[in-house]
Amino acid sequence: MALWSIACVAAEPEVSIARWRVLEINEGTRHFVGVDERDLSGRVSSSIVAFDHENLRGQTLSGRVYQLVGNPGRSGNADYVWQRWCEVNEVKSFSDVTVQLLGGVADDNPI
């Protein structure tokens, strides 16, 4: 499976992802990981800077807005892209913080 660049934020300011999770890397940033609803391709966001719990919408450092669709879940396509993203970005470890995000657990993180 190949990886390719996504459109710039100006051309694609918003994307809807399904079968999504929120993963936190060892550096403390959190990222949306899921599949693009249009073609089921795997997606990994830049770091999340804001999150609306009621509407399941989040903005990332790039400025793109992610609309989370349906319940959290996993996808082989998303997992593949996440693994490659971790390799490219030299991620040493990560954890799934989806439950914390949905529960609105207060911590030092802005989301």
- pLDDT, tens digit, for every residue of 37-58? 999 999 999 999 999 999 999 9
* pTM for this prediction: 0.87
The most distant pair of C-alpha atoms in the chain lies apart, rounded to whole Å, by: 38
Please answer whether residues 99 and 107 qualify as being in contact, where contact means their C-beta atoms are separated by less than 8 angstroms. Answer: no
The per-residue pLDDT of the chain, averaged, comes to 89
Q: What is the rounded (10 degree) CA torsion for 100, 102, 104, 106?
A: 20
| Residue 14 CB coordination number (10 Å) | 11
